[in-house]
Amino acid sequence: MRERRSSVELRLSSCQGVKENKIKLPKVIDIKTCIARVKVQVVNRMDDKSSIIDLHCQSKDDDLGSVVLKVGNETEWSFSVNFLGTTLFYCDVKWSNSSSRYSFDAYDAVRDYTRCRTQCRWIISGQGSLYGYDQHHDIWVQFPLWKI
């Protein structure tokens, strides 16, 4: 007697509205995921015009290197969220008028899935305050900078 196998549909859909793809699998599973392309932007908006920010960002797999941002300057990069939804980019930051270094998560897939679905915008302002744009609610929210 032959064993009967059921097939299952795995649906992968793009966040950008691309047509849905269907893949047949031999197990009983139904997975829906959204594989998004996300752009991260960090801007220096410090009060002191002479404040320069040294920013170093990376993930587990990608080291983006260091960039120096004068007041008003910005840096940005983009990536695709991994299939498991565990993508994490973090940045270390130091500004010219401080000897301390700080860190923040520039993108955390768990936290940012709805907050910044396609674009994560960050502003470092004032005396080192960090603000992130909530794309879902259309507001700026203050986030912690962790001293390292």
DSSP 50-61: T--EEEEEEESS
Question: Which of these CATH numbers, 2.60.40, 3.40.50, 2.20.25, 3.30.70, describes 36-147?
Answer: 2.60.40
Q: Can you give the pLDDT at residue 49?
A: 78
Q: Can you give the pLDDT at residue 35?
A: 57
pLDDT in tens, the chain (148 residues): 544 443 333 333 333 433 344 444 334 333 334 556 899 999 999 988 778 999 999 999 999 999 999 999 999 999 998 888 899 999 999 988 788 899 999 999 999 988 988 999 999 998 779 999 999 999 999 999 999 9
Q: Are 11 and 20 in contact (CB under 8 A)?
A: yes
The residues spanned by each domain of the chain are 1-35, 36-147
Please state, in angstroms and rounded to a whole number, the distance separating the CA atoms of residues 57 and 69: 13
